[in-house]
């Protein structure tokens, strides 16, 4: 490729998050990724299977956003390990953008840039204390990664971080029925909802077939088919409950006597 071709390719990655993602993963973006990366909704939620690309996609979005001046991207994950892993994906995406904007501060979880923008990946903990003090406005993003595993108290404490012009994104595998993420998914019509199901993607067919063979059916239903679950292990497996129902008409005692 000549210099002009390389220049145009870089320009595309800098302006189009889908192109940046495709460059990083080395293949075409899925429909759900396009929708998630290009959504302009003030509050969008993506319900997604395991290993489908949640963190990678979030990292690309974070990097793309802070390439613009004065934008904060605050990403809350359930645990410290998840925040650290996600921050690495954000950094990788930032480096792939190849911009000359200097970092003014870099820690295990925070990157502040000379253009006034910052990516902050912090563990949500039990109360969201680690996110106190940050504000997200004017094109900035407040992202809940694996939001179905973040306690409701954290949402109560952190939703006010979003200010005028900021957007909230929640991306997660299904979790507990009745939690904040579940209520949002089933009860809220204003939130944009995006579904990312591994069983719909040819690129994941091999993994899906493997997990279907070896995972317990309920785990497979949650992690691949996006079924919300109860808090603990159910007393009856969902398959057993399903088998207990039939389409046959109810048999009344008097029908049995009449037939005798």
CA distance linking residue 47 with residue 181, whole number of Å: 9
H helix or E strand, kind and range, residue 195: strand 192-196
Site for Mg ion in 30-59 (CB under 5 A): 54-55
Rounded (5°) CA angle 222-226-228: 65
Count of Cβ atoms closer than 10 Å to residue 225 Cβ: 15
Nearer to Mg ion, 20 or 75 (CB): 75
Nearer to ligand ATP, 121 or 157 (CB): 121
Please report how close the Cβ of residue 96 comes to ligand ATP at its closest, in angstroms: 12
Nearer to Mg ion, 55 or 64 (CB): 55
Query: By CB under 6 A, is residue 30 in contact with ligand ATP?
Result: yes
Query: By CB under 6 A, is residue 5 in contact with ligand ATP?
Result: no
Nearer to ligand ATP, 25 or 218 (CB): 25
- From Mg ion, ligand ATP, none, which one binds at residue 53 (CB under 5 to 8 Å depending on kind)? ligand ATP
The side-by-side arrangement of strands in the sheet containing 141-145 is 103-106, 110-113, 118-123, 72-77, 141-145, 167-172, 43-48, 192-196
Q: Which stretch binds ligand ATP (CB under 6 A): 45-53, 124-132, 155-163, 184-192?
A: 45-53
Q: What dihedral angle (degrees, nearest 10) is formed by the CA atoms of 147, 151, 153, 159?
A: -10
Considering only 25, 80, 110, 177, the residue that binds ligand ATP (CB under 6 A) is 25
H helix or E strand, kind and range, residue 44: strand 43-48
Residue numbers at the binding site for Mg ion (CB under 5 A): 54-55
Residue numbers at the binding site for ligand ATP (CB under 6 A): 25, 27, 29-30, 33, 50-56, 203
């Amino acid at each position: 490729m000549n210099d002009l071709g390389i220049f145009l390719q870089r320009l595309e990655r800098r302006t189009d998050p889908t192109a940046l993602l495709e460059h990083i993963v080395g293949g075409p973006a899925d429909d759900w990724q396009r929708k998630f990366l290009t959504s302009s909704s003030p509050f969008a939620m993506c319900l997604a299977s395991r290993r489908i690309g949640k963190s990678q996609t979030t990292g690309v979005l974070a990097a793309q956003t802070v390439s613009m001046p004065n934008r904060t991207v605050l990403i809350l994950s359930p645990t410290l390990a998840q925040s650290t892993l996600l921050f690495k994906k954000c950094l990788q995406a930032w480096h792939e953008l190849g911009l000359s904007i200097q970092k003014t501060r870099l820690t295990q979880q925070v990157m502040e840039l000379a253009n006034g923008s910052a990516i902050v990946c912090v563990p949500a903990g039990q109360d969201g204390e680690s996110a106190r003090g940050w504000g997200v406005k004017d094109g900035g993003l407040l992202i809940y990664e694996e939001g179905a595993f973040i306690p409701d108290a954290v949402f109560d404490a952190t939703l006010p971080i979003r200010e005028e012009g900021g957007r909230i994104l929640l991306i997660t595998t299904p979790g507990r029925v009745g939690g904040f993420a579940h209520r949002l998914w089933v009860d809220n019509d204003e939130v944009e909802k995006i579904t990312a199901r591994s069983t719909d993607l040819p690129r994941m067919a091999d993994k899906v077939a493997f997990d279907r063979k070896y995972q317990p059916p309920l785990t497979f239903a949650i992690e691949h088919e996006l079924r919300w679950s109860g808090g603990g292990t159910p007393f009856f497996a969902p398959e057993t409950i399903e088998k207990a129902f039939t389409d046959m008409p109810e048999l009344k005692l008097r029908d049995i006597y009449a037939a005798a």
